[in-house]
Amino acid sequence: MILLMFKIIAGVALLVFSSLLSFVFEGVDRIFNARMQLRIGPPLFQPFLDLLKLLGKENIVPRRAIPWAFNGAPWVSAVAAMMIFLYVPMGSLPPILSGSGDLILILYLLGLSSVAMAIGGFASGSTYANIGAQREMVLMMSYELPLAVVIVSMAWFSYRSGMPGEPFSLETFVGMPVWSVAGFTGIFGLLCLMVSLMAVVPAEVGKSPMDIAEAKTEILEGLICEYSGRNLAMMKVAFSIRTLAMCTVVVSLFLPWSLGKMIQIEGPVFFLLDFIFFWIKVFFVQVIGVTLIRTAFGRYKIWQASQFYWFHIAGLSLAGMILLSLDVVL
Amino acid sequence: MAEEVNKTYKVPIGPVHVGLKEPITAWLDVDGERIVKATIRPGAIHRGIEFMARDRNPIQIIYLAERICGICSFTHIVAFVRAVEDAAKIEVPARAQYIRTLVLELERIHSHILWAGVACYTFGYDSAFHLGMILREKVMDVLEALSGNRVNYGTGTVGGVRRDITPSVDKALRDMIVFYKSEFGVFYDVVMEDPIAKARMRNVGVLSREDAVTNCALGPTARGSGLRVDLRWSAPYEAYCDMDIKPVVPQDHVGEVHGDVFDRFLVRVLEVYQSIKIIENVLAGLPTGALMWESKLPKLLRHLKQAEGTGWGIVEGPRGDDSHILRLTAEKENITWWKVRAPTYANAVSWPIMFKDNELADAPLIINSIDPCISCMERMVVTDRSSGSEQIVTKNDLLRLCREKTGRVMGA
């Protein structure tokens, strides 16, 4: 009972913390993006101000929308994305819901978040939102293949190479960095898988060059075209939390090193240090995987994005899979 | 696919759309993401400038003509004052001709860089857009140094120009030339070497050479399709006779013509280099002498009042040929009639061809690819408030109405 209470309190605290952090990171993303374009950019806390403003605005439901789906979708999307933090180990701290969910669940939560947005788009009753939702679905179908290949190869590798723990659990990967287990070919395989996962990040979080479902100069923000007020605020929350969640998954899988273990600290300081170190790593993954990429490239068309994921990235992840298998078999 | 069902749906791009700078509507019949048919509906920004002009004398109209367009304002007034000079038989001093050429080229640079930035923005490449805006600021500074204004320069007048190239302006111009020679290449590389920019523009909105001829495409749109058309080369005006100008066509630079958005981009970017060269030549060959045929305004107005005749002024603007035709009647202060044909009017005809079999994602890019100036184009609108119905005027109707009206105003 006490444990349950503790878990609830810790869970709520973590969700609040990560939501706030996701907004700070979004503010940093906007500043970095602006500086790279030789602009000054908004203040760091602009995303909070935007959110507050949106919460105070009128919430309009279009006449042709399906109200329950239209109003429910942003919440489902945001909550699903938030849930991910309950299953991701924070540095050396085990996840709050340790043992009750694994990588597959995280994948489904990410998927649910995107699908909920697409449902919101379909339920808006607007042509633009409809097109956006269609594009979101097509994009999901495109990046799910490389994503699945990455996850399955990692799990299979951890199982075959005898890493301690459940093969699909993120704790396994955090407990023991895969890089230390893999041999020479395995390192290359892991590199391929890591690049593939990083390539999926922009599509998962809906940022350029994969902001196809929300392309504002083509279909007027697509998915979120009809949203306003509170619902739009929830959509913004869902977007920024999904960005952060995706980056935590990347860090847990591929950059699990613990600073505490390296400099051999013990006690609560060890956990605190690793917790901070974990978010620093997440920050760098977000800056490289989202901010840099979205500054450097324009937007793909939907078939070009599909082609990119189905052929180039899927090919890369398959190559990684083969290299990893070779590493285990040889 | 097996059954013949209508699976297309209609998507309006416009009248107000993030990807468009000005109001125009393109109704697209879309099948999935593919555009099957496109209908262009202008008519949202007609202002009736020609009608207003009929209460004004030619000098007053200069300032009206300048406000036809916010980008090619100087092109419009040069075309207008050339038409007036043509009608009133006025000789423009050589120095004024050179300064007009100079400002026309400055305007071309600013228009083309703006367009290139906006095109990048249209396919989500915001960094290139911001880079373009930074580059454009330099030429805006020069225009401000020359005329005191950034958009409507107030520089041209009937029989000459109102601003001289002072030593400080000359220095600003030379700084600008050095700046563009070193910095513009970055922009060129950023866009031309970018894989996504190429994927978004190559084979998009193709206008073949034949279609460009039959649909009377003009300016960079026609040159992007490989046509050698450029009034500065084929019918030189002002100081262009002294310059060595060849139309910029893609086949001369990359060896092949696709007639797509990428080629139009290439042509515009290369024309910026061409304009810089022309400005250098203008500065090198700037003759001394008067700035105006007649600097006393009442005397000029008196001459214009006595003039009788029809005048033509056709200028190669940043978007294509801009034609102004007007009539002056003797002993009348105001002009009798004035007709403006902006390049977008001719280029817009090509839109439905460019749209065909492209994707919805390309639609705003295709609209922007001819660098449309909707407020320049909209010279006529038909409304019938009483019946509330939309009326479509056929070409023959238009021709008849046009002849009747011309007959009426000319008193025939």
CB contacts, 8 Å: B127 with chain A: 36-37, 295-296
3-state secondary structure of B40: strand
Q: Closest partner residue to B130 among A37, A217, A218, by Cβ?
A: A37
Percent of chain B's residues with pLDDT above 70: 92
The residue that leads in pLDDT, A255 or B1, is: A255
Instruction: Report pLDDT digits (tens) over A104-117.
Output: 888 888 889 989 98
Contact A298 B128 (CB under 8 A): yes
DSSP B348-386: GGGHHHHHTT-BGGGHHHHHHHT---HHHH-------TT
ipTM score of the complex? 0.78
pLDDT for the residue B238: 84
pLDDT for the residue A76: 92
Contact B127 A304 (CB under 8 A): no
Q: Rounded to 5 degrees, what are φ and ψ at B336?
A: -80, -55
What is the nearest CA distance from A29 to chain B, expressed in angstroms? 14
Contact B196 A211 (CB under 8 A): no
pLDDT for the residue B383: 52
The whole-number average pLDDT for the span B227-244 is 86
Contact A218 B9 (CB under 8 A): no
CB contacts, 8 Å: B189 with chain A: none
Confidence of residue B234 (pLDDT cuts 50, 70, 90): confident
CB contacts, 8 Å: B200 with chain A: 298-301
Contact A298 B196 (CB under 8 A): yes
Q: Which residues contact A173 (CB under 8 A, 6 or more apart)?
A: A154, A158, A163, A252, A253, A256
pLDDT for the residue B1: 42
CA–CA–CA angle A156, A157, A159 (5° rounding): 65
Q: Rounded to 5 degrees, what are φ and ψ at B322?
A: -115, 115
Query: Do residues A208 and B124 make contact, with C-beta atoms less than 8 angstroms apart?
Result: yes
What is the nearest CA distance from B356 to chain A, expressed in angstroms? 17
The whole-number average pLDDT for the span B383-403 is 64
Min mean pLDDT across A2-6, A129-133, B167-171, B387-391 is at: B387-391
Q: How many CA atoms lie within 13 A of A219 on its CB side?
A: 33
C-alpha closest to that of B221 among B35, B372, B23, B41: B372
Structural domain boundaries of chain A? 2-329
Q: How many CB atoms lie within 10 A of CB A273?
A: 18
What is the nearest CA distance from B126 to chain A, expressed in angstroms? 7
Contact B124 A131 (CB under 8 A): no
Identity of residue A35: R
**Which strand ranges, in their side-by-side order, compose the sheet holding B320-328?**
B309-317, B320-328, B337-341
Q: Closest partner residue to A211 among B33, B124, B134, by Cβ?
A: B124
Query: Do residues B254 and B199 make contact, with C-beta atoms less than 8 angstroms apart?
Result: no
pLDDT at A200 over 50: yes
Query: Do residues B241 and B248 make contact, with C-beta atoms less than 8 angstroms apart?
Result: no
Record the tokens describing residue B221, joined without a space: 């749109």
Instruction: Report pLDDT digits (tens) over B79-94.
Output: 999 999 988 888 889 8
Dist CA B245 CA B265 (whole Å): 19
Which residue in B123, B133, B134, B357 has the most chain A C-beta atoms within 10 A of its own C-beta, making it the best mutation to test that interface? B123
The whole-number average pLDDT for the span B207-218 is 86
Contact B131 A37 (CB under 8 A): yes
pLDDT at B389 over 60: no
DSSP A144-205: HHHHHHHHHHHHHHHHHTT-SS-TT-HHHHHHS-HHHH--HHHHHHHHHHHHHHHHHHHHHH
Query: Do residues B8 and B27 make contact, with C-beta atoms less than 8 angstroms apart?
Result: no
The residue that leads in pLDDT, B20 or A99, is: B20
pLDDT at A95 over 80: no
Q: Which residues contact A234 (CB under 8 A, 6 or more apart)?
A: A74, A75, A77, A78
pLDDT for the residue B194: 81
CA–CA–CA angle A321, A324, A328 (5° rounding): 135
The whole-number average pLDDT for the span A92-97 is 74
Contact A218 B125 (CB under 8 A): no
Dist CA B281 CA B103 (whole Å): 13
Instruction: Give all domains of chain B, ordered by start, each with its CATH number.
Output: 49-377 (1.10.645.10)
B20-42 as b/e: b if 16+ CB within 10 A = bbbbbbbebbbebbebeebebeb
Query: Do residues A231 and A59 make contact, with C-beta atoms less than 8 angstroms apart?
Result: yes
The residue that leads in pLDDT, B392 or B149, is: B149
3-state secondary structure of A88: coil
Instruction: Report pLDDT digits (tens) over A228-241.
Output: 888 899 888 898 99
Contact A303 B11 (CB under 8 A): no
> Average model confidence (pLDDT) for chain B?
83
Instruction: Report pLDDT digits (tens) over B338-379.
Output: 888 888 888 888 888 888 778 888 888 888 888 777 666 665
The whole-number average pLDDT for the span A315-329 is 84
Q: What is the CA radius of gyration of chain A?
A: 20
Q: Which residue of B has its CA nearest to A222?
A: B361
Instruction: Report pLDDT digits (tens) over B55-65.
Output: 888 888 888 88
Query: Do residues A273 and B169 make contact, with C-beta atoms less than 8 angstroms apart?
Result: no
pLDDT for the residue B411: 65
pLDDT at B387 over 70: no
Contact A218 B19 (CB under 8 A): yes
What is the nearest CA distance from A303 to chain B, expressed in angstroms? 9
Confidence of residue B395 (pLDDT cuts 50, 70, 90): low
The whole-number average pLDDT for the span A57-83 is 88
Cis status, amide bond into A209, omega within 30 of 0: yes
> Average model confidence (pLDDT) for chain A?
85
pLDDT for the residue B390: 53
CB contacts, 8 Å: A39 with chain B: 130
pLDDT for the residue A31: 92
Q: Which residue of B has its CA nearest to A34?
A: B127
Instruction: Report pLDDT digits (tens) over B327-337.
Output: 888 888 888 88
Query: Do residues B147 and B153 make contact, with C-beta atoms less than 8 angstroms apart?
Result: yes
pLDDT at B45 over 80: no
Cis status, amide bond into B15, omega within 30 of 0: yes
CA–CA–CA angle B24, B108, B146 (5° rounding): 120
Token pair 């279909």 is found at A219
pLDDT for the residue A185: 80
Which residue in B10, B29, B33, B137 has the most chain A C-beta atoms within 10 A of its own C-beta, making it the best mutation to test that interface? B33
Contact B127 A36 (CB under 8 A): yes
Confidence of residue B306 (pLDDT cuts 50, 70, 90): confident
B320 Ramachandran zone, left/alpha/beta (phi>0; psi -120 to 50): left
CB contacts, 8 Å: B363 with chain A: 218
pLDDT at A312 over 70: yes
pLDDT for the residue B378: 63
